[in-house]
Structure 1
Amino acid sequence: MYILNFIRGFCMALADSVPGVSGGTVAFILGFYDNFVNSLNNLISGNKTDRINAFKFLSKIGIGWVTGFILSVLFITSVFEKNIYQINSLFLGFIIASIPLIVKSEIKTLTSHKRNIIFLIIGIIVVCAMTYLNPAASSGQSFSLKIDNLHLLFLVYIFLSGMIAISAMVLPGISGSTILLIFGLYAPILTAINQVLKLNFEYLPAIIIFIMGILVGILITVRIVRKLLRKHRAKTIYCIIGLMIGSIYAVIMGPTSLEIPKPPMSMHTFSIVSFGIGCVLVPGLELLKKLLKNKDEELEII
């Protein structure tokens, strides 16, 4: 069971480290999303027994996540800017292939509450507006997270971005990395983490503020997400799908938030091969879900 949860956490990290589908989407596809959200909630507000069980489960997921995230950061930062259009084409494949899976899994809820489709439109508008109005895109400049460039308003901006990004990670929809892409902080955060791993501590204060935002975001959003999915599931799912559709625009505009901004992705720079790989990988996760489920059943028999 430890190995299985390690693999689950590792797959979540791969999703969380790139704009596209969220770690929550991977948990949803692999069939342990409810257990994941409930464990987070129990760790925060459960009784002693619930907290112990939640910690055991999340620690196994967490070790896999940290391993996957560090490996992803070390790899992605070395190829991201040079191959931005191929990578973003891959992200588009992730997103577009994931939407039908979520619709299929929630088809009864969606079809029985068609009036709530307005929340899908709201989700699209929110992401597109955030992408269009984000400071990096509007100024044509990218953020630097070196300590010399930090000031109070920028620190608040980093903190809030961390809060919102972790909220997106918990939801089975738009990824936290896509949120950072929208806010113009994806490449700067990856660069900062990579530099800290290489013992360049000029970027450490910004990372600490970002982590604080993540921790506060977890405390606030887990309960809200859990409650929304229970009491307003149709509205929430419609909104999630809208966020995912809107994130297509965010990924297309992603090159504008690089340290040296590039033009938005176009038909000329779009990579059909990378897009196809992204589309294939998502059904691959669905297959992995079945393999993990069969492995769980075998372990229970033993």
Structure 2
Amino acid sequence: MKRNVLLRFSIFLKGMAMGIADIIPGVSGGTIAIITGVYEEFLSTLNRIDFKIFKLLFNGEFKKTSKKYNLSFLLSLSIGIFTSIIILSHYITYFIENYPIALWSFFFGLILSSIFFLFNQIKSWNLKNFQFVFTTKLYLLVFGLLIAIYIQTLNPGKNEINNIYLFFCGIISITAMLLPGISGAYILILLGAYETILNTLKEVVKLNLDYFLNFFSFILGAIVSIKLFSKFLTWGYKNYKDNTLSCLIGFMIGSLPVLWPWKTEIISKDFFIYNLYIPSFNSKNSTLIEGIIFMLLGIGVVFILEYLSKKNAKEK
């Protein structure tokens, strides 16, 4: 597919929009890809890539490789995605350190509204006459919820995250990023690796060699995920969408405590749990109003994205 400079720049900008979504928990890069009209081409291009690409590149057949694997599109989009991720990683770590209540409240609002919209996508559930009871979808929702709760109790401390775990995080988070409505960054938070990945990106940009192994472990996991799971995942999403969404919704509901802005950690030798609370409104230094405002802001962002996504689908 021949592309001029202007079209490549347009794809680059769409990639930047996806990158912004990929690094913010609750916002899906897949949803942005649908809104901008590149989702199907992105998936088909990823599924097309195989090990023959290395042979063609090694033999110097660059034009043939670019045409066969749609590299003009993939490179423009990928550069845009990574540009946003690298730039935003600096700002998000700053907000985590200096404005944690505002940031986590915003993220909580994003996820809460995402659950609502994902739930509405399951058309076969009829809440009025309780047709959702004792169905496979309900069992899968409960299964996802229990898995999320279990993962939280085993959530490793920052100092215990090793390269094997980062490889695993790369597989899981990139797999999630390929699905519309599912946030890979949110999965990283649940796995306890979100801040570690953000910090790694910051240090890699500074050419800090101590973090390169962490970075490559995560990227290798992402590559394995794209190669091995993208076809299976998209097939399952298309053919068993309701069941897939049910499990994911349960997973997201069960992991909401991770994002709750007001919590303390109760740590034991083998696991930890969260003690959730709501700050007093009358307290002099109460952060309740701040939290509510940013939660509503997060909810509003997802509503706008869903509106744009539906509008784009109707126009097609």
Q: Report the alpha carbon displacement of residue 212 of structure 1 after superposing the two structures with TM.
A: 1.0
Matched with 2:217 is 209
Matched with 1:266 is 277
2:28 is equivalent to residue 41 of structure 1: no
Q: Report the alpha carbon displacement of residue 9 of structure 1 after superposing the two structures with TM.
A: 2.2
Q: For residues 228-257 of structure 1, what are the alpha-carbon distances to aligned partners after superposition, in whole Å with 9 as ceiling and x for unaligned?
A: 123322211211222232332232289779
Relative distance call for 1:272 and 1:3 in structure 2 (3 A) is farther
Matched with 2:12 is 6
Q: 1:279 aligns with which of 277, 294, 299?
A: 299
Q: 1:163 aligns with which of 148, 156, 171?
A: 171
Name the structure with the higher helix share: 1
Q: Could you say what secondary structure the match of 1:135 adopts?
A: coil
- Once residues 50 and 99 of structure 1 are traced to their aligned partners in structure 2, the CA distance between those partners, rounded to angstroms, is 39
Q: Report the alpha carbon displacement of residue 227 of structure 1 after superposing the two structures with TM.
A: 2.0
Q: 1:241 aligns with which of 246, 249, 268?
A: 249
Q: Could you say what secondary structure the match of 2:255 adopts?
A: helix
Q: Report the alpha carbon displacement of residue 165 of structure 1 after superposing the two structures with TM.
A: 1.5
- Once residues 257 and 85 of structure 2 are traced to their aligned partners in structure 1, the CA distance between those partners, rounded to angstroms, is 25
2:188 is equivalent to residue 180 of structure 1: yes
Q: Report the alpha carbon displacement of residue 38 of structure 1 after superposing the two structures with TM.
A: 3.1
- Once residues 253 and 131 of structure 1 are traced to their aligned partners in structure 2, the CA distance between those partners, rounded to angstroms, is 16
Gaps of 5+ in 2: 1-6, 54-63, 266-271, 280-286
* Structure number with bigger Rg: 2
2:70 is equivalent to residue 64 of structure 1: no
Matched with 1:134 is 155
- Once residues 277 and 198 of structure 1 are traced to their aligned partners in structure 2, the CA distance between those partners, rounded to angstroms, is 33
CA contact (8 A) 1:30 1:288 kept: no
- Once residues 184 and 175 of structure 2 are traced to their aligned partners in structure 1, the CA distance between those partners, rounded to angstroms, is 7
Relative distance call for 1:174 and 1:126 in structure 2 (3 A) is farther
- Once residues 228 and 46 of structure 1 are traced to their aligned partners in structure 2, the CA distance between those partners, rounded to angstroms, is 26
- Once residues 257 and 196 of structure 2 are traced to their aligned partners in structure 1, the CA distance between those partners, rounded to angstroms, is 20
Q: Report the alpha carbon displacement of residue 163 of structure 1 after superposing the two structures with TM.
A: 1.2
Q: Could you say what secondary structure the match of 2:159 adopts?
A: coil
- Once residues 102 and 50 of structure 1 are traced to their aligned partners in structure 2, the CA distance between those partners, rounded to angstroms, is 36
TM-score, normalised by the number of residues in structure 1: 0.77
CA contact (8 A) 1:181 1:254 kept: no
TM-score, normalised by the number of residues in structure 2: 0.74
CA contact (8 A) 2:177 2:184 kept: yes
Relative distance call for 1:59 and 1:111 in structure 2 (3 A) is farther
CA contact (8 A) 2:22 2:184 kept: yes
Matched with 1:229 is 237
CA contact (8 A) 1:255 1:265 kept: yes
Q: For residues 164-212 of structure 1, what are the alpha-carbon distances to aligned partners after superposition, in whole Å with 9 as ceiling and x for unaligned?
A: 1211212234422222222222112211210121222211111111111
What count of residue pairs does the alignment treat as equivalent? Answer: 278
Matched with 2:33 is 27
- Once residues 206 and 223 of structure 1 are traced to their aligned partners in structure 2, the CA distance between those partners, rounded to angstroms, is 27
2:113 is equivalent to residue 97 of structure 1: yes
- Once residues 159 and 234 of structure 1 are traced to their aligned partners in structure 2, the CA distance between those partners, rounded to angstroms, is 29
Gaps of 5+ in 1: 137-141, 146-153, 298-302
CA contact (8 A) 2:66 2:72 kept: no
How much is the aligned-residue C-alpha RMSD, in angstroms? 3.5
Q: Report the alpha carbon displacement of residue 30 of structure 1 after superposing the two structures with TM.
A: 5.5
User: Hey, which bits of structure 1, 4+ residues long, moved more than 6 A?
Assistant: 45-51, 253-257, 290-294
CA contact (8 A) 2:163 2:213 kept: no
CA contact (8 A) 2:93 2:199 kept: yes
